[in-house]
Amino acid sequence: MVGAARPISLEAAQKSGQFIALGDLRGIAVDLRYASANNFVGRDVYSPMDCAWLHRSAARALDQAQRSVVQALPGHQIVVFDALRPHRVQIALWQALQGTGLELYLADPAIGSIHSYGFAVDVGVLTPEGRELDMGTGFDAMQDESHPEFEAQMLAEGRLSQQHLTNRQVLRQAMLGAGFSGIATEWWHFDFGNKARIRAEEVRVD
Ligand SMILES: [Zn+2]
């Protein structure tokens, strides 16, 4: 589906009615890391964009996931680390990872990230005290302990605890129950809907 993307500007996306600002969703916290220096690049790569957006269908599903998290863990809330990621930012992040051996943690801009369509979201959970629920690694920790595919092995080797896995399971069950799917390499990343269809039919924000 390379080349099928229909690019639009962030301004056009925000005015289109297709996307929702997540700050408007009650109960969802936003800590947009790429709009701060607290990310692997070490600087704000989102400016002037400063709030998290998602396609409205994915945003509705995230709202449902939030309710599941609260049911499982009263007083807790989903925190969004990244959501709609303009394609220009995907290119900047890709360039920052080139040659590091960590490219597996990012979609090649030539194919495009589902984040750039507003159908992918990076999330964690906040405790009632506002601290991040301990998942064993932080958001964007590019290491084996972050891979859902290795969780059983990491537990056996003592590199993750049962509590880490239980915490991840609360988030994962809430997200999957709302229609998201996870990936093998990042506990925090979830896609909503069929990736091939999204790349073929939805608008990409540049
Ligand atoms: Zn992601």
pLDDT in tens, 13-55: 999 999 999 988 888 999 999 999 999 999 999 998 888 999 9
What's the 71 CA to ligand 1 centre distance in angstroms? 25
Distance, CA of 109 to CA of 91 (rounded, Å)? 6
Q: How far is CA 79 from the centre of its chain?
A: 10
Distance, CA of 175 to CA of 169 (rounded, Å)? 10
By the 8 A CB rule, do 180 and 61 touch? Answer: yes
Q: What is the pLDDT of residue 169?
A: 98
Tell me the average pLDDT across 49-64: 95
pTM higher than the cut 0.75: yes
What's the 123 CA to ligand 1 centre distance in angstroms? 8
Indicate whether 1 pLDDT > 80. Answer: no
90-119 pLDDT tens trace:
999 999 999 999 999 999 999 999 999 999
Question: Which class is domain 6-205?
Answer: alpha beta
Q: What is the pLDDT of residue 4?
A: 58
Instruction: List phi, psi (to 5°) of 127.
Output: -75, 170
What's the 82 CA to ligand 1 centre distance in angstroms? 7
What's the 96 CA to ligand 1 centre distance in angstroms? 16
Q: What is the DSSP letter of 132?
A: B
What's the 35 CA to ligand 1 centre distance in angstroms? 15
CB atoms inside a 10 Å sphere around CB 40:
17
Sign, CA torsion 44/49/50/53 = negative
By the 8 A CB rule, do 19 and 49 touch? Answer: no
Indicate whether 192 pLDDT > 80. Answer: yes
Q: What is the pLDDT of residue 195?
A: 93
164-179 pLDDT tens trace:
999 999 999 999 999 9
What's the 140 CA to ligand 1 centre distance in angstroms? 9
Indicate whether 86 pLDDT > 60. Answer: yes
Active-site residue 186, yes or no? yes
| Secondary structure (3-state) at 147 | coil
Q: What is the pLDDT of residue 24?
A: 85
Going by pLDDT thresholds of 50, 70 and 90, the confidence category of residue 5 is low
Which is nearest to 4 in space by CA: 194, 206, 201, 205? 201
Sign, CA torsion 178/49/139/6 = positive
| Average per-residue pLDDT for the chain | 94
Pick the catalytic residue from 129, 186, 201, 202.
186
Query: Which H helix or E strand runs over 152?
Result: helix 151-156
Distance, CA of 159 to CA of 151 (rounded, Å)? 9
